[in-house]
Amino acid sequence: MTMFWRCRRERGANLTGIRLIVGAKTLRFDVGPVLSRATSALLVATAAFLLTAGLPLAQALDPVGEDPPAPAIRVNFQPESSELVCGYTPDFGYPFAEQNGLSFGWNSDHTDGMRDRGAGDDRRLDTLARFHAGGMWEVAVANGEHEVRVGVGDAEESSTNVLNVEGVAFFFGEEVPAGQFREFTGTVTVTDGKLTLDQGSAPDFATRINFIEIDALGAPEGCDEGGEEGTDEHDPPSESSPTAVSDLPTTRAAGASPPAPININFQSAGSPVACGYTPDRGRLFAKRHDTSFGWNLDHTKRARDRGVRLDQRKDTFVRFLAGGVWEIAVPIGNHRVKIAVGDTNFASVNTIKVEKVGFFDELRLGANQFATRIVDVPVSDGRLTIHMGKSSIRKTKINYVDINSPGVRSCQDTAPITGDASTGPLPARPYGLTGLRRVFGQHCSPEANDGRAYFPSAGGRGSYGYVYFHSRLSKLVGGKVLPEVNAKKRANDYGVWGYACRMKTGGTSWSVHSWGAAIDTNTLRNPFGQRHWNGRGWNGKRFGRFLPNIWMGRGFYWGLNFNDPMHFQYVSGY
């Protein structure tokens, strides 16, 4: 076993951290004050003993070079006397303070507004907080983007819910009958260290909030109750019962054993398949992928892939045509349906009905905002139908639909997603136009845009995003170059580009980018025409020729040879 340790210290600054490497494991310890050599050695020896002995470490550890993900926060609103919900931190209506390891609470005492209806098995939906007029709830979180899911409703009383999260309207006068519930998931940005909920100018006790989840992927670990969605089983009405199914049914599941789960992602024809999902590419209704689904009108030209997000489900969508209807064959009966709408790059106005049940009614979302809703829907003809009703606004953008399924949120495509051509061996770097065509075929072909990898600063300075290239380069770029870049990911600065069907800058011949055989990196610092390499990364620090050495070491030809320092291409002599 190999063991050694390193100190991390900026010039002229105090010692800030220690790295301990034991075998294949690397641990990082962040420390505050200056440590003596003796204290440092004692810390390292203690950590090494615990690790080699197989005992848990108390320190917070993260892989070197990786930023830790935002911690999941789940809060259930309930009276103090109520049973706790597995995996959720309780909020009893107290003013903002540090509680249960988090800092959260209200701007005024709300303990008199907490209720437990005791009507079902899902404790999250049985309990609620009623907002006072002017009421505001906050929780301390890191600045940045957060995915927030909120549930509202009341098992005993009807409610009219208004709820803003960081100024983003999640519910705007949402009328929810007694015993029914609504959920909304959206992405918000926090700039002051606190995520804030309010009900605007709504009157006393108008909004009934059940729970909130922040950056919570999937169900809490080790919990049977309070998972992705709770259930409350009821005896189904008999055939002679006069009780009709409500147009807006409860989100609680009906009785009987659940049908098989279905996960459909709406995406363009050349787009990589979302992990765990069956793709719908806008084609007409037909049998495919062991089931029958599709559109009444050709929607292939309305499918998009923005190529920005790691979550492919939100990166892609199909925009409804006027009169557009999407259907899928399912058994007759009740089905729990979850639908997501939104667009990473542009605003959307979304109207969705499933069968006769309204999901969204001209819901306006800004760029990079998304909404999800989960409702139980009855199907009587063997086809579940999604449409826009009578809406004339053609800006509905549907991302994905989960049917009888909690989704596959924990399944993410972190490795390059490539086409079939990527499996063949890659020849040595070709020379000239003839060699370029021999290896990569025609310019602007589907294969030229069929490989991709998730690069730092491709989605904005310091933010990851997808870079597209020829599928034959997938193993080289995604499997070899990218891991080396990620070793010092802050060296990559905005922007990072790949495939583009265009001519050479200032020329009349096709660019190597049109074959997907060139990558531009750190473009803002290294524009075309510059005769040197600027090696500063996204944090402004100098990394020298760290990046050029990676690309050239993997066989790429550097554009600095023709005054294009950002440019690296897998061909020379062209």
Topology, domain 73-214: Jelly Rolls (2.60.120)
Q: What are the sequence ranges of the domains in the chain? A: 3-52, 73-214, 262-403, 420-569
In whole numbers, what is the pLDDT of the chain averaged over residues? 79
Does residue 309 register a pLDDT over 90?
Answer: no
Q: Report which residue type is found at 349.
A: V
Does residue 212 register a pLDDT over 90?
Answer: yes
Burial of 255 (0-12, 13-18, 19+ CB in 10 A): exposed
Ranges of H-type helices in 143-268: none
Q: Which helix (H) or strand (E) holds 340?
A: strand 333-343
Reported as a pLDDT band with limits 50, 70 and 90, residue 406 is low
Does residue 257 register a pLDDT over 70?
Answer: no
Does residue 345 register a pLDDT over 70?
Answer: yes
For the domain bounded by 262-403, which CATH number is listed? 2.60.120.430
Reported as a pLDDT band with limits 50, 70 and 90, residue 420 is very low
Does residue 375 register a pLDDT over 60?
Answer: yes
Q: Which helix (H) or strand (E) holds 434?
A: helix 432-440
Q: Which residues pair with 387 in a beta bridge?
A: 325, 353
Q: Tens digits of per-residue pLDDT, 162-190?
A: 999 998 888 888 888 888 888 888 888 89
Does residue 412 register a pLDDT over 80?
Answer: no
Is 34 or 192 the better-scoring residue by pLDDT? 192
- Weakest-pLDDT range from 11-25, 254-268, 376-390, 432-446: 11-25
> Do 570 and 555 contact (CB within 8 A), yes or no?
yes
Q: Which residues pair with 28 in a beta bridge?
A: 19
Q: Which residues pair with 8 in a beta bridge?
A: 17
Q: Tens digits of per-residue pLDDT, 221-253?
A: 766 433 333 333 333 333 333 323 333 333 233
Q: Tens digits of per-residue pLDDT, 57-98?
A: 433 333 334 445 678 899 999 998 888 888 899 999 999 998
Of 342, 409, 406, 402, which Cα lies nearest the Cα of 377?
402
Q: Tens digits of per-residue pLDDT, 27-66?
A: 444 444 444 444 555 555 555 544 444 444 433 333 334 4
CA distances, 306 to each of 79, 256, 556 (Å): 44, 40, 27
Same fold, 73-214 and 262-403: yes
For residues 79 and 504, give the distance between their C-alpha atoms in angstroms, rounded to a whole number: 67
Does residue 136 register a pLDDT over 90?
Answer: yes
Does residue 6 register a pLDDT over 70?
Answer: no
First-to-final CA distance of the chain? 50
The C-alpha angle with vertex 560 and arms to 556 and 565, in degrees rounded to 5, equals: 90
User: DSSP of 397-414, one letter per residue?
Assistant: EEEEEEESS---TT----
Is 551 or 345 the better-scoring residue by pLDDT? 551
CA torsion 316→322→328→332, rounded to 10°?
140
State if pTM tops 0.85.
no
Does residue 418 register a pLDDT over 50?
Answer: no
Q: Tens digits of per-residue pLDDT, 477-523?
A: 988 999 999 999 999 998 898 988 888 888 889 999 999 999 999 99
